[in-house]
Amino acid sequence: MRYLLDTHAFLWFITNDKRLSETAHRIIRDRNNEIFFSAASAWEISIKTALGRLSIEGDLEPFLVGQLVENGFLSLPVTVPHAARVFTLPDIHKDPFDRILVSQAGTENMPLITRDPMVRQYDIEAVW
């Protein structure tokens, strides 16, 4: 099955953070699943790192690409249909990164691995 990682799920997985649920961890580790990492999450991590709200060791691009390769994650670009679908989303969440991830999950018909209760209010499948 195909799944999309919310940014926090990606970060918690790669850092072995105990906040990642057992279900999410099991899904991500299952090699029968295809796990996608959005370009929007890379952008969010980039901004938060530049603002000092996240700390990444070394250069960001090699770090992110290395994590994708090491964990077998697939990259999901942001496409015009993904961006355009944001227009149709109810005004539940104000965060543009969360809104594009919801749009991508819906457009690509894949569950979003997220703990965010606001994101889980959208008409998409979410797992945690």
How many angstroms separate the CA atoms of 37 and 122, rounded? 19
> Residue 93: is its pLDDT beyond 90?
no
From the CA atom positions of the chain, what is the Rg in Å? 14
> Would you state the pLDDT for residue 126?
97
| pLDDT of the residue at 94 | 87
User: pLDDT value at position 80?
Assistant: 96
Phi, psi of 19 (to 5 degrees): -75, -20
Domain around 7: 2-127
The mean of the pLDDT values for the chain is 95
C-alpha 32/C-alpha 28 separation (Å) is 9
pTM for the model: 0.93
Residues 22-68 have pLDDT tens digits of 999 999 999 999 999 999 999 999 999 999 999 988 899 999 999 99
Q: Supply the CATH number for residue 102's domain.
A: 3.40.50.1010
- Residue 119, C-beta contacts closer than 8 angstroms, at least 6 positions apart: 6, 93, 98, 101, 102, 112, 126
Q: What's the total number of domains in the chain?
A: 1
**Three-class SS of residue 126?**
strand
